[in-house]
Chain A
């Protein structure tokens, strides 16, 4: 699988440049290359299929509108696209009535990172580093971070799940993120 990811990444930058100029075939190609990876992202956040589809559609419309703002110096194309998709999905989740009650059945934060593809080399390295840093957090805080990142859980939802006050969850999250940053940025 890793062999097909790399060429895609190289094709995405030029595609985004063409899309910024209003090139619809380029946009269609971008959709074909990336929709399965972006759908994976939004489907984690939105379990209801119709909401996941709505989020993916919104994400691509946003890509069409914002392609001129893509800055290769800031992010790789796939990272930029995935961030847009995640943000659309989380916004939609907040707007919708979707709540943890209907999805607790299949949630296992620990299992989330394991259903991964074999990523391209530098991503694999970044991912390993991130996982290493995450693994230094106490276990329930790892779960909080992963549930939030993958499934878009709010502080309130985390508070309910972990039986802690919302303010405590906020404190724990921010502390965890600072710890994570220090680890990732090399000040361990």
Chain B
């Protein structure tokens, strides 16, 4: 088989762990957009993983748990510039959404999907600043009637709060959706009348406010992130 085209060999060696740093990074960056490579890697993970699962468990140092829990609360998480959003049910479309999200994140704003795909019940917005910085994922689940906003790698400066706003789609001024806390959820009623088309036009924004939220009911601090929704299911 021709050396440069040996995608299978590359995937196998990636999973085996023998690629050098640059090659590994190439593979990791290519996977979200290359479904063939992703499939080959998944196949090799499946073939070889029994070896890893057969290892005798080793208790991790007890202090590590606190560090991990602190890391996911945002205080120590490494900035993650690239956030892939993927449809679970539909791989190729997932890849398309991921590249949309990536391209849009680089532009600073998430574009919305064309209205006809806003038929599903789950939508997602990546709220991300330009460059390496904190990010949030906002997802809307119409079935359960909730919006949840999850900090991916956001650190709140002390004495400040992040507040989520909805703009556009018939609103004449920004509507506060509340202050973002851990595992932050908002009932969709808060958004007012929710129909799919309007949801696709809604722009979400996060501003930095005094602790506890804006005292005026309107954004007073800098707008850190903006994003629109994309359908995920």
> Interface of A with B (CB < 8 Å)?
21-24, 27-28, 31-32, 35-41, 43-45, 49, 53, 56-58, 60-61, 64-65, 68-69, 71, 74-75, 78-79, 82-83, 86-87, 90-91, 94-95, 113, 115-117, 119, 123, 126-127, 130, 145-146, 148-150, 152-156, 158, 169-170, 173-174, 177-178, 180-181, 184
Cα A60 to Cα B56 with chains together (Å): 19
- Which residue of chain B has its CB nearest to the CB of A185? B47
Q: Is the CB of A39 within 8 A of B60?
A: yes
Contact with A along B125-140 (1 / 0, CB 8 A): 0000000000001010
- Please name all residues of chain B whose beta carbon is closer than 8 Å to the beta carbon of A22 when the two chains form the complex: 148, 150, 182-184
Query: Shortest Cβ distance from A57 into chain B, in angstroms?
Result: 5
Cα A74 to Cα B71 with chains together (Å): 28
Cross-chain contact of B16 among A37, A173, A184 (Cβ < 8 A): A173
- Please name all residues of chain A whose beta carbon is closer than 8 Å to the beta carbon of B198 when the two chains form the complex: none
What does DSSP make chain A's interface, helix, strand, loop or mixed?
Answer: helix
Q: Is the CB of B57 within 8 A of A149?
A: no
Cα A177 to Cα B17 with chains together (Å): 12
- Which residue of chain A has its CB nearest to the CB of B71? A61
How many residues belonging to B are interface residues under a CB distance threshold of 8 Å?
Answer: 58
- Which residue of chain A has its CB nearest to the CB of B150? A22
Q: Is the CB of A61 within 8 A of B58?
A: no
Cα A22 to Cα B74 with chains together (Å): 12
Cα A24 to Cα B58 with chains together (Å): 24
Cross-chain contact of B47 among A37, A41, A184 (Cβ < 8 A): A184
Cα A29 to Cα B177 with chains together (Å): 30
Cross-chain contact of B72 among A27, A43, A148 (Cβ < 8 A): A27
Q: Is the CB of A83 within 8 A of B16?
A: no
Q: Is the CB of A57 within 8 A of B52?
A: no
Cα A167 to Cα B148 with chains together (Å): 50
- Please name all residues of chain A whose beta carbon is closer than 8 Å to the beta carbon of B68 when the two chains form the complex: 31, 56-57, 60-61
- Please name all residues of chain B whose beta carbon is closer than 8 Å to the beta carbon of A69 when the two chains form the complex: 84, 86, 88
A sample of 25 inter-chain contacts (CB < 8 A) reads A22-B148, A23-B183, A31-B68, A32-B65, A35-B65, A36-B59, A37-B53, A38-B60, A39-B60, A43-B58, A57-B68, A57-B71, A61-B72, A74-B42, A113-B51, A115-B56, A130-B47, A146-B51, A148-B16, A149-B48, A154-B18, A154-B20, A156-B20, A174-B12, A180-B47
